[in-house]
A and B are shown apart, each in its own frame.
Chain A
Amino acid sequence: MLRPRKLPRETKLWNQAFPAQCCIVQSLVTPTQQVVKMAGILDVPKPRINCSMLSQHISRPVCFVGRVEKVHPTGKTFTVADGEGKIATVELNDPLEEELSGVVEVIGMVSNKGAIMATTYNMLREDKGIAFDLELYNEALKVIQDFPQHYPFEVAASG
């Protein structure tokens, strides 16, 4: 999979997050390496956030759940709305290979422009199971934010 060259800033951020992967040649990345990179983010605690919390998590891995709004024709970026109705942008490394709709869970890093650089996403199918209640999810997020002493995710994850 070819990946366009990253801008120097992005590279720096990337290296900050995954110091192990500060390899110089980034143009040709094999699937294995991709997976390895992904594994990096998956090992790390990723707080669940909504749009209002984006600014507090710049350059950090997060998990964002929202409803897909618009998909850019190139398939490399799309917008999502959170439980409060606010919109965030998600940027992908590779263009979408499938039709994206409904609620998705995106895991990635927050860029300093407030967009989410997705490493992986997960579509919560609406035709299967119970529909995802985004507003209720937002309420839960607020509770987690309001009572961090009861939700020590950081500690738990690293353990």
Chain B
Amino acid sequence: MSVKLTQGAVEALFKGSEVNDPVLQLLNIRKITGDTGPRYRLILSDGQHSLSSFLLATQLNHLPEDNLLVPNCVCKVKRTITNSLSDGRIVVIVLDMEILQSAEETGGKIGNPTLYTVDSKTSTPQKSASSVSVPASPPSAAVPGPSYRNSSAALSPPRGSGRGFFGKSPMKTSPMKASPMKASPMTASPMKASPMKFSPTKFSPTKFSPTKFSPTKFSPMKGDSTSPGSSTTVIPIAHLNPYQSKWTIRARVTNKSSIRTWSNSKGEGKLFSFETVDESGEIKITAFNKEVDRFFSLVEQGKVYYISKATLKVANKQYTTLKNDYEMTLHAHSSIVPCDDSQGVPTLHCDFVPIAELENRDSDTIIDVIGVCTTADDVSRITTKTSREVSKRALNLIDNSGKVVAVTLWGEEAEKFDGSGQPVVAVKGARLSDFGGRSLSALFSSTVMVNPDIPEAFRLRAWYDREGYALDSQSLTETRSAGSGANMNWKTLSDIKSEQMGHGEKAEYFTCLATVVYFRKDNCLYQACPSADCNKKVTDQQNGLYRCEKCNREFPNFKYRLILNANLADFGDNQWVTCFQETAEVLLGHSAETLGQLRDTDEAAFDEVFQKANFTTHIFKNRAKLETYNDECRVKVTVMEVQPVDHREYSRRLLSNIRKLAR
């Protein structure tokens, strides 16, 4: 027992001042179940004072678990960190310690340490010696606080352990047990209105076996708080969780949605949601029905508010793209107070993806992107499948990766967008789609900011002014040419057989590049009914009249129409296709009428037309479908559209395919 304890160390540690490797005796150790695992609360003494506000860092958990750290052993505390909780209590976390002398060697308690107290705030004037686990009877004035009487060694249980320190430190997620142990007669104690942000509840009597410690001792420390007015200690959004109910966050609204109403079998309702951000993270907040009325006009995008008392639940990732496991719902008791002091609260939390990287992301993911708007189309109105009319505008964004992508804005945002002057546009929460390669679409929940006040915007502006404007870069959203651009399902002719295209119930549409290698010109023309819209073949009555069965009429004339069977080939395979009037005329370069006449008059010229068209290469948009023809099922391919080959676009596509394959 020759080790000397460092007297005064407890006081120093509690006050947060530097102590060099103090030697302390462990009076008691208590295991607490924290959210992250077991934690050990220690009562350490320096011979003069003892303190129960010590917590063992998890990396040292093995010490008590291996029975190295037992009551009465002496240890040297090498590294600590002193935290003060939001309610003012102090806890000292022991990060590193070394056992100097075991309990057996030490014998008993060294010295006669009194429980260290600090006036005000926490702990309480302790009655030194006395104590014993005398249940209750709070001696005079308040004995709130860690009333744990320090009594003879082994017996004094660190009650209060429940009191846990929670809050920022390790225990932050200790489950809140609301109405705790009011059991304690101690309730009386006027706990200094520390607005327990985290309802201290913890004292789980569950933690203690009530037999051992009289439930009494716990500091009521709850209840009393309220009066949020006093020290609204703000916690970071990142620390929010459903297990704490008394908290306040200070955050800026980054995105406010409009009111949405719904009506389903359970009735009607309305909601609006907004996203908020603070230095630590972001979270989505939703208000329903009555709260919508209360808060919708109060909450404005871009402003900072103190928000407290809302319900936290696990986030429904379907509806939100924010990086937070939880989301908040406002209820009748929630409060939103505007905050004037908004320094430190960032304006937006964005995770921008360089445009060139978009190719590597999967389709349908939610992405943030920022770029300079090079061109913006005019706003156009389209009717959606649900026959709603909506405005849309497509703009092109380029960023310093040199790539361009098309972004589609909808509704009001499309209408108010002004793309003049090549502004820097940031879009948060846009959905990446593989429409036309790669493109982005603003969702209902996306935020579009023009010339935002963030460093990336300035960097982009500087880059663009220096070099970007001259870049003739490649757009990831190709094929905006010739309308649609959608369903340019590029295939090669060999894919038709290998993928068994057209075998399903529905017809399959695809595009390919191919060369005509043969025209079946023998039966390419037929005589059709001259009435508009009727293309039925007419039968020659041999009396100068032609009868159309569909119209049930006879005509003295007819119109020639083309049905051209051709064989297309590419590097892999060839395929017989059928071209009707329009496409055949494009391929051959002559109208059906002209061809009809040529056939009747000048055979050579007629053949010449086909010769010229033979071995020409085009882009074909086809439809493949399984058809039954007299008991025989085969896939028939019809050409829907013929387009000349744009070599540059085709080369670019090939190059990008090569690069993709090479990855």
Interfacial residues, chain A to chain B (CB-CB below 8 A): 130, 133, 135-136, 139-140, 143, 146-147
Contact = CB atoms under 8 A, between A and B. Distances in A.
Given A130-B648, A140-B655, 12 more contacts: A133-B648, A133-B651, A135-B472, A136-B651, A136-B652, A139-B651, A140-B651, A143-B655, A143-B658, A143-B659, A147-B658, A147-B662
14 contacts: A133-B648, A133-B651, A135-B472, A136-B648, A136-B652, A136-B655, A139-B655, A140-B651, A143-B655, A143-B658, A143-B659, A146-B662, A147-B658, A147-B662
Q: Please list the 8 inter-chain residue pairs (A to B) with the smallest Cβ-Cβ separation, ordered nearest first.
A: A139-B655, A133-B648, A136-B651, A143-B658, A136-B648, A143-B655, A130-B647, A136-B652
Interface in B638-655: 647-648, 651-652, 655
Contacts of A130: 647-648
Contacts of B655: 136, 139-140, 143
Nearest to A135: B472
A130 B652 CA distance: 15
Q: Is the interface of A mostly helix, strand, loop or mixed?
A: helix
Q: How large is the interface on B (under 10, 10 to 19, 20 to 34, 35 or more residues)?
A: under 10
A92 to B, nearest CB: 30
A139 B662 CA distance: 14
A17 to B, nearest CB: 32
Contacts of A135: 472
B81 to A, nearest CB: 55
Nearest to B648: A133
Contacts of A146: 662
A97 to B, nearest CB: 31
Contacts of B651: 133, 136, 139-140
A146 B652 CA distance: 16
Contacts of A136: 648, 651-652, 655
Contacts of B659: 143
Nearest to B647: A130
A57 B647 CA distance: 29
Interface in B519-547: none
A156 to B, nearest CB: 15
Contacts of B652: 136
Contacts of A147: 658, 662
Contacts of B658: 143, 147
B402 to A, nearest CB: 12
Interface string B136-168: 000000000000000000000000000000000
A144 to B, nearest CB: 10
B474 to A, nearest CB: 9
Interface string B372-414: 0000000000000000000000000000000000000000000
Most buried by B among A130, A135, A136, A146: A136
Contacts of A139: 651, 655
B629 to A, nearest CB: 41
Contacts of B647: 130
A136 B659 CA distance: 14
Contacts of A140: 651, 655
B652 to A, nearest CB: 7
A140 B653 CA distance: 12
A58 B658 CA distance: 29
Nearest to B661: A147
Nearest to A142: B655
A135 B473 CA distance: 10
A143 B659 CA distance: 8
A147 B662 CA distance: 9
A140 B655 CA distance: 7
B357 to A, nearest CB: 19
A7 B158 CA distance: 101
A143 B647 CA distance: 17
Interface in B421-439: none
A126 to B, nearest CB: 15
A136 B649 CA distance: 10
Contacts of A133: 648, 651
A147 B648 CA distance: 21
Query: Which of A133, A135, A139 is most buried by chain B, counting CB atoms within 10 A of its CB?
Result: A139
A152 B25 CA distance: 81
Nearest to B472: A135
A155 to B, nearest CB: 19
Contacts of B472: 135
A146 B450 CA distance: 41
Nearest to B651: A136
A78 B655 CA distance: 31
A135 B647 CA distance: 13
B572 to A, nearest CB: 15
A19 B84 CA distance: 91
Nearest to A136: B651
A136 B648 CA distance: 7
Interface string B109-151: 0000000000000000000000000000000000000000000
A135 B655 CA distance: 12
Nearest to A139: B655
A133 B646 CA distance: 12
A64 to B, nearest CB: 19
Contacts of B648: 130, 133, 136
A120 to B, nearest CB: 25
A146 B659 CA distance: 10
B178 to A, nearest CB: 66
Nearest to A133: B648
Contacts of B662: 146-147
B157 to A, nearest CB: 73
A140 B658 CA distance: 10
B619 to A, nearest CB: 15
A143 B654 CA distance: 10
A111 B662 CA distance: 34
A145 to B, nearest CB: 12
A21 B351 CA distance: 67
A82 to B, nearest CB: 16
A20 B309 CA distance: 95
A143 B660 CA distance: 12
A1 to B, nearest CB: 38
Interface string B191-214: 000000000000000000000000
A44 to B, nearest CB: 27
A140 B651 CA distance: 8
A135 B652 CA distance: 11
A39 B659 CA distance: 37
A135 to B, nearest CB: 8
B131 to A, nearest CB: 81
Interface string B467-501: 00000100000000000000000000000000000
B467 to A, nearest CB: 13
A154 B648 CA distance: 26
A139 B472 CA distance: 14
A140 B656 CA distance: 11
A146 B662 CA distance: 10
A133 B649 CA distance: 11
A70 B152 CA distance: 100
Nearest to B655: A139
Nearest to A137: B651
A77 B171 CA distance: 80
B651 to A, nearest CB: 5
